[in-house]
A and B are shown apart, each in its own frame.
Chain A
């Protein structure tokens, strides 16, 4: 059976149009995003690993090397099993630092543009044979089906269509953050097609060429050499070398790196891929042996590499060879598209940009986009050129394995990146050059020699045999050994630069953040960021990049906090890294957004950033680090949940801790406070805390603060924190502060209520006396009124009226005193200047209302003009309580002396009674609440404790001096304010 070339070309064209359609509808959003971000789409897209080598070449490989063909997939399985240790850390790095290729990753870690250039060049040289292999697989498959040599224009047309597709769906925009969903969907579809095609051909071989599994078993029983041919190379061939090579290829090949990391949408997908992708490869390989044996059974006269097509040409439906051809076409096209995209990105950032950086006046995005498109075309055409160079007699596997050994040279560098922070740039570069040297000598030169392109005169096969190794084992072992030894040796004898050390820490799985956060950005606001960047990348690009970074971090454009600006700088570097490559981005940022290395950076300045990073990388922590992190979280939780307001500040008074209690007290969330200067806080917190931070006192008790027109009371405490400089082992002289706010407002309210209750209790005790005092005048008034009814004498009437008015005045006076005394005063009411004598007299008249109060004599010695500043009602309460106690202790006829006088800056008030005195053992407890020596029902035990409290509030002192049997002397000393003295002097004058 033969086919017309036009039919096959038409099928290829149709297939590519379907790919265009899938990519287009996905990119246009016509396909739900949940479908394209599904893990299985991602895993199918990883199927780009299986190229035409797998599709066609596996059968030929199995024919020549038996089960060695499985090594190409077993190594991949190992790499994916190791995803928690290998792929996930790499994915994290590529996502965090926006690294789009292996060259980016290695240039970032070893902080070397040369590393990027070398990796890119080597990757390019290593990949060209592979691209050539795909083109050759397509043209050869066409010649198998048409039995004629296809014209060169066909291969050129194929390349042209791939260029178009890669540009349209892989280089539509330049942003590294933009994932190419259409491309991923199309590549996933390609994987499905090649899997389906291979399975269909396998089933056809099993059930049509053979008559089913039983027939195949019979055939194998009669051909035991077929199974022996499978197993024999396992014992003798380069089994381990090939497993190792495919392990490296699984994530180091440009196309694999691109699909695994650059196009990854969800970090979860890589976990699913750890088993699902090897399963995909297993399914892909199920058909290989049935196809091989079917080809042998049919005695096909063709290279076993193309048995996949060959078996379908015998007694098959007409569509089957076309399907088999389309499967191979899909495997080849997917590889070329993804490899080219990955290589173009590497070439742009590591070859083209360092060689000719665009003028800042140009639109850098457009420049990069068109540069990348041009590179795509150049790379595919270079693959086409290489296809012309190589001899047709090179097996597919040979070409593929050359690329595998090439990318394996990056393994030492990647291992150093993940697990050896001491590895140096020099070690990496020299090791890589050594490995490349062996690769060129052992594989590339022989390939070119066999292709007739080069005559070296080297006798490589004899060298292999003299060392007892076949070619692949020789090339793998010596290139890696040379590379690894040079890498380790030179890393040990050379030193890292500080930049390299920082990058090494960032790459190492135990993240160290301190070094990256040292210093302060010289630019003080985002506008200065834009200005600095515009000089190199142009005004529009700079504005866009700053805006993007602000959006990424959720920052406002007016951000000025040094810690936040440092984060912004890092984010811009990461974003630029995705655009221009890590090294170029690093150079631009270092040059345009200079760090002020002189500025001292406290650990506390970066505390928020470090904590955020620790939270995001928590699942990576293990062992002691995980325990330390648990401890840190525990301590942090204690600080956050502390029922006291905690505010910690840096030496330059920037807030670093603002706990939950502080948020509740102030009503200000921590995100609006942390990083800002204390003085920038809203009223009253800015003044209160900034003032306290500067104050000499370490404790301020009972501070009144008006919040939303209501008084609040706080005890303030502070302590200094010796600050650790980042990177320094010892504390330096700069000190931060931690301030504690103890809210007393509830306690104050409670105390005010108690004071009021005490007053009411006093009134209760006076009630009987009050009734009597009011009752007497009322009786008098009633009698006078009765007499008035019959009285005619105007003089007597006038006299009676005067008496009534006098009695009424007396009642009003008693009621007035009671009302004044009992009203519920608000806490923190304004202090006023009042005459002390008047207050004493009022207190005496209140106490007199009680029966006991009447029977004692009061002797007051106080200047009438003596004034006091304070809460008159509360002072009156103190006097009532003290006088009531004195009366209770006195016998009828005793005298109570009340003396008040000025003593320097104090007013001293003394109350002396001649009562029974206080027993010595009770004297220490008399100011305690609810302590009383009176009988039950006669006293609440609050009187003296309230008096004590009120005098304390007035910053005064109260003492009691009592001798049992002789009497008690109470001394109250209250401060006299300066303005009060002046006021008094004025009055006296």
Chain B
């Protein structure tokens, strides 16, 4: 299988993160965690998780931000 280029991998990861975020915040999973009111700050935790992954992606591919 041909090796994916670095920008290509960055785009792939970005799309995966988008899908993950949509899964967390815009899917039936959202309704699931919203039904059972576990802790009031749960949305903040999930939001922070997405931000941390985005930061990791940025540092992983920052050479391609040129």
A contact residues vs B (CB 8 Å cutoff): 67, 70, 73-74, 77-78, 80-82, 84-85, 88, 220, 227-228, 230-231, 234-235, 239-240, 243, 267-268, 270-272, 274-276, 278-279, 282, 285-286, 289, 619-623, 626-627
CA distance A74 to B24 in the complex (A): 11
Docked-complex contact A275 and B65, CB < 8 angstroms: no
| B-chain residues with CB within 8 Å of residue A230 when the two chains form the complex | 37, 40
Instruction: Report yes or no: A227 in contact with B37, Cβ–Cβ below 8 A.
Output: yes
How near does chain A come to B34, taking the closest CB pair, in angstroms? Answer: 4
Name the A residues within 8 Å of B18 (CB-CB). 78, 81-82
User: Residues of A contacting B54 with CB < 8 Å?
Assistant: 77, 80-81, 274-275, 278
Counting chain B CB atoms within 10 Å of each CB, which of A80, A271, A282 scores highest?
Answer: A271
The list of the 9 closest CB pairs from A to B, nearest first, reads A271-B65, A275-B55, A275-B54, A234-B34, A622-B8, A626-B5, A231-B34, A227-B37, A268-B65
CA distance A972 to B62 in the complex (A): 74
| Seed contacts A285-B44, A619-B64; 20 additional CB < 8 Å A-B pairs | A70-B43, A77-B51, A78-B18, A78-B22, A81-B21, A81-B50, A84-B10, A84-B61, A230-B37, A231-B35, A235-B34, A235-B35, A267-B66, A271-B65, A274-B54, A278-B51, A279-B51, A279-B55, A621-B7, A622-B8
Chain A's nearest CB lies how many Å from the CB of B29? 12
Nearest-neighbor residue (CB-CB) of A244 within chain B: B26
Hey, which chain B residues are within 8 Å of A621, CB to CB? 5, 7
> Would you give the shortest CB distance from B58 to chain A, in whole angstroms?
5
Majority secondary structure, A binding face: helix
Q: Which residues of B have CB within 8 Å of A619? A: 7, 64, 66
One of A243, A272, A275, A626 near B7 (C-beta < 8 A):
A626
Question: Known contacts A227-B40, A239-B30: does B11 contact A77 (CB below 8 Å)?
Answer: no
Report the nearest A residue to B34, measured CB to CB.
A234
By a CB distance below 8 angstroms, the chain A residues around B21 are: 74, 77-78, 81
| From B14, B34, B65, contact of A81 by CB (8 A) | B14
Minimum Cβ distance to chain B for residue A599 (Å): 36
Complex Cα gap A270–B58 (Å): 10
B50–A77 touching, CB < 8 Å: yes
Q: Which B residues are in CB contact (< 8 Å) with A243? A: 25-26
Other-chain contact of A235, B5, B31, B58, B62 (Cβ < 8 Å): B31
> Which residue of A has the minimal Cβ distance to B6?
A619
Cα distance A734–B55 when bound, in Å? 55
* Listed A/B pairs (6) with beta-carbon separation below 8 Å: A77-B51, A81-B17, A228-B37, A231-B35, A234-B31, A240-B26
Q: Do residues A67 and B51 form an inter-chain contact, with CB atoms below 8 A? A: no
| Least CB separation from A630: chain B residue | B5
Contact status of A268 and B25, CB under 8 A, knowing A275-B55, A622-B5, A626-B7: no
Query: What B residues does A85 contact at CB under 8 A?
Result: 11, 14-15
Residue ID in chain A nearest B66 by CB atoms: A619
Report how many residues on chain B are interfacial, defined by Cβ distance under 8 Å.
36
- B5 to chain A minimum Cβ distance, whole angstroms, is 5
Q: Which of B7, B34, B61, B66 contacts A622 (CB 8 A)?
A: B7
Contact assessment for B58 and A272 in the assembled complex, using a CB-CB cutoff below 8 Å: yes
- A753 CB to closest chain B CB, in angstroms? 52
| B51 partner, pick from A84, A275, A285, beta carbons under 8 A | A275
Contacts of A271 in B (CB 8 A): 58, 62, 65
Question: Within the complex, what minimum Cβ distance (angstroms) separates A232 from chain B?
Answer: 8
B40-51 interface bits toward A, Cβ cutoff 8 Å, 1 = contact, 0 = none: 100110011011
* CB-contact partner of B47 in A74, A235, A623, under 8 A: A74
A289 near B14 (CB under 8 angstroms)?
Answer: no
For the complex, what is the distance from the CA of A276 to the CA of B30, rounded to whole Å?
Answer: 24
**Bound complex: CA of A78 vs CA of B51, how far in Å?**
10
Return chain A residues, CB-CB under 8 Å to B44.
282, 285-286
Q: Which residues of B contact A276 (CB under 8 A)?
A: 55
A239 to B29, CA, bound (A): 13
Tell me whether A270 and B65 are in contact (CB under 8 A). Answer: yes
- Is the CB–CB distance between B5 and A268 below 8 Å? no
* Given A74-B47, A81-B17, A279-B51: A268 in contact with B31 (beta carbons within 8 A): no
Q: Do A70 and B47 touch across chains, with their CB atoms under 8 A apart?
A: yes
Contacts of B55 in A (CB 8 A): 275-276, 279
- B14, A220: Cβ atoms closer than 8 Å: no
Q: Taking the nearest CB of chain B, how far is it from the CB of A88, in angstroms? A: 8
Instruction: With A243-B26, A268-B65 as known contacts, state yes or no: A67 contacts B8, CB within 8 Å.
Output: no
A76 to chain B, nearest CB (A): 11
Contacts of B31 in A (CB 8 A): 234-235
- Tell me which of B22, B30, B51, B66 contacts A282 (CB under 8 A): B51
The answer to whether B47 and A77 touch across the interface, beta carbons within 8 angstroms, is yes
Q: How far is the CA of A77 from the CA of B55 in the complex (A)?
A: 12
**Alpha-carbon distance A78/B8, docked complex (angstroms):** 19
- B2 cross-chain contacts in A, Cβ below 8 A: 627
What's the least CB distance linking A114 to chain B, in Å?
34
Rounded to whole Å, the gap between the CB of B16 and the closest CB of chain A is: 10
Residues of A within 8 A of B8 (CB): 622-623, 626
Verify A267–B37 contact, CB threshold 8 A. no
Residues of chain B within 8 A (CB-CB) of A278 are 47, 50-51, 54
- Rounded to whole angstroms, the CA-CA distance of A228 and B40 in the bound complex is 9
Closest Cβ–Cβ distance, residue A304 to chain B (whole Å): 17
